[in-house]
Amino acid sequence: MSKISERIAELDKATKKSRTINTILWVFVFCLVGVAGYYAYSANVEREKAETLANEKKIINQKLIDSEAETKRKLDSIIRLSVTDLWEQAKNINTLSAYSNYAKENPNDSIHGDDLINAVDHLLNKSGFTQYQETNGNKLFNPVNLDLEGSFVTFKTDKAVRNGAIGINDCGASNSRKIDVIVQGEIVRIKRLCEAPGSKSIWAEIEYSN
- pLDDT digit string (tens) for 169-180? 999 999 999 999
- Please answer whether residues 184 and 130 qualify as being in contact, where contact means their C-beta atoms are separated by less than 8 angstroms: no
Q: Is residue 99 part of a domain?
A: no
60 vs 91, more confident: 91
Number of folded domains that form the chain: 2
Residue 76 confidence (pLDDT): 46
CA 92, 87, 117, 131 torsion-angle sign: positive
- Please answer whether residues 156 and 140 qualify as being in contact, where contact means their C-beta atoms are separated by less than 8 angstroms: yes
Q: Is residue 131 part of a domain?
A: yes
Q: Are residues 129 and 72 in the same domain?
A: no
- Please answer whether residues 202 and 136 qualify as being in contact, where contact means their C-beta atoms are separated by less than 8 angstroms: no
Q: What is the pTM of this model?
A: 0.61
Q: Is 97 helix (H, G, I), strand (E, B) or coil?
A: helix
Mean pLDDT over each residue of the chain, to the nearest integer: 83
Q: Are residues 68 and 132 in the same domain?
A: no
Angstrom distance (rounded) from CA 86 to CA 107 = 13
Residue 68 confidence (pLDDT): 53
Q: Is residue 118 part of a domain?
A: no
Q: Which helix (H) or strand (E) holds 108?
A: none
- Please answer whether residues 185 and 207 qualify as being in contact, where contact means their C-beta atoms are separated by less than 8 angstroms: no
Domain end among 92, 117, 143:
92
